[in-house]
Structure 1
């Protein structure tokens, strides 16, 4: 299993933003420079991360980006889900998924448990740890 490139880039972007959490706002272009990501990619990620409530954006003089809540309250799971959606190892982990093999499938009950375990592991990694590791 692999994260999407965008989820990976979102983790890099949020880690860089967390290193500026002393109250100062940071521009998307500065985050792009610090992470080595293209500015358009960071701008796209900022839009998704803002919509998910992980970043706060303000325009104008003194504007920029800031974490929407303390770095310790943001997890790796939050960041991945902001970009890739709910963490599910198999499509049938989602209750809304319609599968023609559902009645005869002996594996489906275990996918939900595995997905929850993965989400739990990702939830145990706070952004503060990611920001420190990246230094």
Structure 2
């Protein structure tokens, strides 16, 4: 499995946003600067993350972006699904046409595989991703 670039950028953007927790709001421009991503890309990602309820945007003076819930309550699975939709390794699980569906003995097992993958991604919180190298060495 390989994440799309947009899902990767969403994880990177959310990690940067999480580092602002407790420090007030941030902006798409600031997140772009911190991550090295282009501003239009960050704006697109922020839009998807906001629609999924992971980021909250406030307009006006003192406005900006902030996590919609604590970083510990946001997982990699949440972020990936906000951009990609439900985690599914094969299209047949999501109802797409399959040329070998009638003879496929594996199809009934894909939901188990997908649940395991989603579970693994759900076990990684945004707090873990937001840690800097310095913080990781201090913990070790």
The TM-score bracket by the shorter chain reads: over 0.9
The corresponding residue for 1:70 is: 70
Q: Number of aligned pairs?
A: 134
**Superposition misfits of 4+ residues, deviation over 4 angstroms:** none
Corresponding residue number in structure 1 for 2:38: 38
Q: Within 2, Cα distance between the matches of 1:87 and 1:25?
A: 30
Normalising to structure 2: TM-score of the pair?
0.90
| Residue pair 1:93, 1:108 contacting (<8 A) in 2 also | yes
Structure 1 residues not aligned, in runs of 5+: none
SS in structure 1 of the partner of residue 65 of structure 2: strand
Partner SS state of residue 56, structure 1: strand
Counterparts of 1:129 and 1:62, CA distance in 2: 28
1:25-49, CA deviations, whole angstroms, 9 ceiling, x for partnerless residues? Answer: 0011000000000000000000000
Give the 5 Å matches for 1:1-135. Answer: 1-94=1-94, 96-133=95-132
Partner of 2:137: none
Deviation at 1:102, TM superposition (A): 2.4
Q: Specify every segment of 5 or more residues in structure 2 that has no aligned partner in the other structure, as ranges.
A: 135-140
State the secondary structure of the residue aligned to 1:21: coil
In the aligned structure 2, how far is the partner of 1:24 from the partner of 1:67?
10
TM-score by length of structure 1 reads 0.94
Measured against aligned partners, the alpha-carbon deviations of 1:37-94 in whole angstroms (never above 9, x if no partner) come to 0000000000000000000001110000000000000000000000111100001122
Distance 1:93 1:115 in 2: 9
Q: 1:69/1:98 Cα in 2 relative to 1: closer, same or farther (>3 Å)?
A: same
